[in-house]
Every structure is written in C-alpha cells, then in structure tokens.
C-alpha cells in the first residue's frame, strides 16, 4: 500500500504536537495500521514499524514533536505553511511514503519515529541503542541535499565558588563574579590547547558563554557565580572528554583560594555529539544519485548523531532551515513546498530500493 502523501502531511501539520504528541502519534499509528503494518510503541513513546527481515537493515528516522507555538495549516498553491510543515512533518510524510513504497526483498526496512527531538532527545538516543542498523536516513529540512556531517551541541555550567563578604570591605571576601571575567576570557583559549582542531567539512568548534548568574544582594560580595555555555563540537570530540578537559583548562585561571567546577546542564539527558559519515559510503551515493542534491554538512544538531556512532548516517529531507528572507524552521513563517516533499519521498524510495530491492 502507498499513502496520499499530501493528505497525511496536511493532517500532520493540522495536529498540534508542541506540548503533547499523543494525537500526532495516534495519527501515525493509524496510518501504518491502515496500510497493513503493525507498529509498536515503546515506553518512551517511539513508534517503530518494520518490513522484511535480515540484513542489510536500513532505518528511516525523524520526529513527531515540534517547537511551540502551534501555527495552523495554510496552503497557497504548492506552498504549505504551519508549524512542523518542514520540521519535521514534511520529512516524516516523505519517509512514511518511502517506507510503504520501497522495494524490500533483500533485507529489512524500519521506520523509527521519536517523540522528543526538540527537547530531551531520549527517544532517538534509545532507538540508536536498540536498532542494529546498517544505514540510517534521518529526516530533517536539508533542501534535498544529502547531509553527511553535523556539529555536536552541549550545554553546561561553570560554577565558581569564592567567599561572601560585605561590599564595604570587598578585600575580605573572594568575589566570584570578578573571577568569572577571567574564566570567560580563558574560554577563548580552550581550543588552542585542547580542541580537536578544524574539521574538513564542519570547520572550527565554538565555545560560547550564553548566561551568567551570581550574587544575592547589592551590598554583598558574591560568593558564587555560574556561567552557562554552549559548545558546538566537531569530530572526534566527545562530551565526556570535553567536560573534563574544559574544567582542567579553566581552573588555571582561578584566583588563589577559589574553586571551580564544570558540569552538563542536563547530566541525565543525552547530548548530540558531532558526526561525519564517509561521503563515499553506498548510502550517501545512492541517495545523492536519487535526489540530485549536494553532499554537505547539516547546519543544526539532530538525533542523527546517536545513530552515527554505529552506522553510516545521513540527514535528508524537504524544506530548509532558513532562506534568503531569514529563518524558516522554528519560525512563524515555517513552510515547505509540496513538490519537494514528493521529490524527497521518491529519492528515499529509490535509494532504499537499490539497497534492499
């Protein structure tokens, strides 16, 4: 069975999934069941469905959640606007159509859809652990280009501890905010000493202070200060190695008698690490030939990084993150071209059929 890709896309965009994905998941499950497929839903809320058996095993992944707020479906010719139009209900419609249409006679094809890519990403991380894929296509708005690499993204806190005192006698305390100024300066030199260097396709990593908080009263020397940072990594840096090394690097800038520690902002949640898939991999070649798009890095962190640890992984789909007029994905003007959704579906269908047909 095939699906009416535009009917599904419209129903998906019309279904809010920015606060609760239940209705969107039900739409996906019902669509699969109507096509004779029995999907499963795990404890995290991932939806999986499989055709065929054995290997090679290709996984099609994207997500059903969106950022807030919900924006109603609107169509003007081939242009569809609304929340999730391109991120990522357009890619979802394309992957779902390919899941039904691809020839699968030699191996296995799994549709694996996560519920929380825009927030905690626990769904995608879990799927990557339990699915033994030989290749993964992750649906995101890439403008029909085949994206083989992306930076990682970590968020953390640098906590500086000094000693409170009366502001009338600042020398009797140890000012944590004052120490933060040299720590922030020290962040500028981290990559010179510890960084992985410039990546061939992703360029240089970045380490950016984004928030600062400290002090309890206007007439008190602050005894503690926290600097929050954003790290955009490149291979082969891992999150654990980075946290340990940045703490070691920054500690040398601390004034005597003061302490510093570095920790992830969400230590119990997964963080996407940087990845790069070989551009000569057969999955890349088949999808590039089928789509006609360029091979390039992707401009945002995605759940692709979890799959890329154990299988060749590409990011691909209709729509764009931004155009010449500004942001598209996550913006109030989010849109996708219906023809691009069709093209993406055909490209994934053809690529999967070449590998599994």
Is 205 a domain residue? yes
Burial per residue of 256-291, b for 16 or more beta-carbon CB atoms within 10 angstroms, e otherwise = eebebebebeeeeebbbbbbbbeeebebbebbbebb
Check which CATH number belongs to the domain holding 170 and give it.
3.30.70.360
Considering the domain architecture, whether residues 260 and 308 belong to the same structural domain is answered as no
Considering the domain architecture, whether residues 195 and 123 belong to the same structural domain is answered as no
Considering the domain architecture, whether residues 114 and 159 belong to the same structural domain is answered as no
Measured distance CA(262)–CA(230) in Å, rounded: 13
pLDDT at res. 2: 80
Place of tokens 């219906």: 338
Considering the domain architecture, whether residues 36 and 99 belong to the same structural domain is answered as yes
pLDDT at res. 315: 98
Final residue before a domain boundary, out of 264, 289, 324: 264
Is 75 a domain residue? yes
Measured distance CA(57)–CA(48) in Å, rounded: 14
DSSP 157-224: EEEEE-B-EETTSGGGSB-HHHHHHHHHHHHTTHHHHT----BTTTB--EEEEEEEEE-S-TTEE-SE
The pTM assigned to this predicted structure is 0.92
pLDDT at res. 275: 96
Considering the domain architecture, whether residues 125 and 23 belong to the same structural domain is answered as yes
Considering the domain architecture, whether residues 61 and 192 belong to the same structural domain is answered as no
Could you tell me whether strands 79-81 and 74-76 are parallel, antiparallel, or unpaired per DSSP bridges? Answer: antiparallel
Tens of pLDDT along the chain (357 residues)?
689 999 999 999 999 999 999 999 999 999 999 999 999 999 999 999 999 999 999 999 999 999 999 999 999 999 999 999 999 999 999 999 999 999 999 999 999 999 999 999 999 999 999 999 999 999 999 999 999 999 999 999 999 999 999 999 999 999 999 999 999 999 999 999 999 999 999 999 999 999 999 999 999 999 999 999 999 999 999 999 999 999 999 999 999 999 999 999 999 889 999 999 999 999 999 999 999 999 999 999 899 999 999 999 999 999 999 999 999 999 999 999 999 999 999 999 999 999 999
Considering the domain architecture, whether residues 41 and 165 belong to the same structural domain is answered as no
Considering the domain architecture, whether residues 62 and 100 belong to the same structural domain is answered as yes
How many domains does one find in the chain? 2
Is 269 a domain residue? no
The domain in which residue 257 lies consists of 152-264
Tell me how many helices (H) and strands (E) the chain has.
10, 20
Measured distance CA(3)–CA(154) in Å, rounded: 38
Considering the domain architecture, whether residues 216 and 339 belong to the same structural domain is answered as no
Final residue before a domain boundary, out of 219, 238, 264: 264
Considering the domain architecture, whether residues 129 and 243 belong to the same structural domain is answered as no
Burial per residue of 316-349, b for 16 or more beta-carbon CB atoms within 10 angstroms, e otherwise = bbbbbbeeeeeebbbbeebbbbbebbbbbbbbbb
């Amino acid at each position: 069975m095939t699906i009416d890709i535009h009917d599904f896309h419209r129903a998906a965009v019309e279904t809010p999934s920015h606060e609760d994905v239940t209705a969107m998941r039900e739409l996906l499950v019902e669509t699969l069941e109507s096509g004779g497929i029995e999907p499963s839903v795990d404890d995290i809320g991932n939806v999986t469905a499989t055709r065929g058996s054995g290997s090679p095993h290709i996984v099609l992944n994207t997500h059903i959640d969106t950022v807030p707020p919900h924006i109603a479906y609107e169509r003007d010719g081939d242009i569809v606007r609304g929340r999730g139009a391109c991120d990522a209900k357009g890619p979802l419609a394309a992957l779902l159509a390919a899941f039904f249409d691809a020839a699968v006679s030699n191996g296995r094809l799994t549709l694996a859809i996560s519920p929380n890519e825009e927030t905690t990403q626990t769904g995608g991380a879990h799927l990557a652990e339990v699915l033994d894929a030989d290749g993964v296509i992750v649906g995101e708005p890439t403008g029909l280009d085949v994206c083989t690499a992306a930076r990682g993204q970590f968020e953390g806190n640098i906590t500086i501890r000094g000693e409170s005192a009366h502001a009338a006698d600042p020398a009797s305390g140890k000012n944590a905010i004052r120490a933060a100024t040299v720590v922030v300066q020290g962040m500028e030199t981290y990559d010179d000493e510890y960084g992985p260097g410039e990546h061939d396709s992703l360029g240089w990593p970045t380490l950016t202070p984004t928030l600062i908080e400290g002090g309890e009263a206007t007439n008190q020397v602050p005894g503690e200060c926290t600097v929050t940072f954003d790290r955009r990594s490149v291979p082969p840096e891992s999150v654990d190695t980075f946290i340990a090394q940045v703490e070691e690097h920054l500690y040398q800038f601390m004034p005597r008698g003061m302490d510093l520690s570095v920790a992830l902002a969400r230590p119990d949640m997964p963080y996407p690490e940087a990845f790069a898939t070989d551009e000569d991999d057969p999955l890349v070649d088949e999808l590039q030939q089928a789509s006609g798009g360029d091979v390039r890095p992707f401009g945002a962190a995605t759940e692709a990084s979890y799959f890329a640890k154990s299988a060749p992984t590409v990011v691909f789909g209709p729509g764009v993150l931004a155009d010449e007029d500004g942001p598209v994905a996550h913006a109030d003007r989010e849109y996708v071209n219906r023809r691009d959704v069709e093209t993406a579906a055909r490209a994934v269908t053809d690529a999967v059929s070449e590998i599994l047909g």
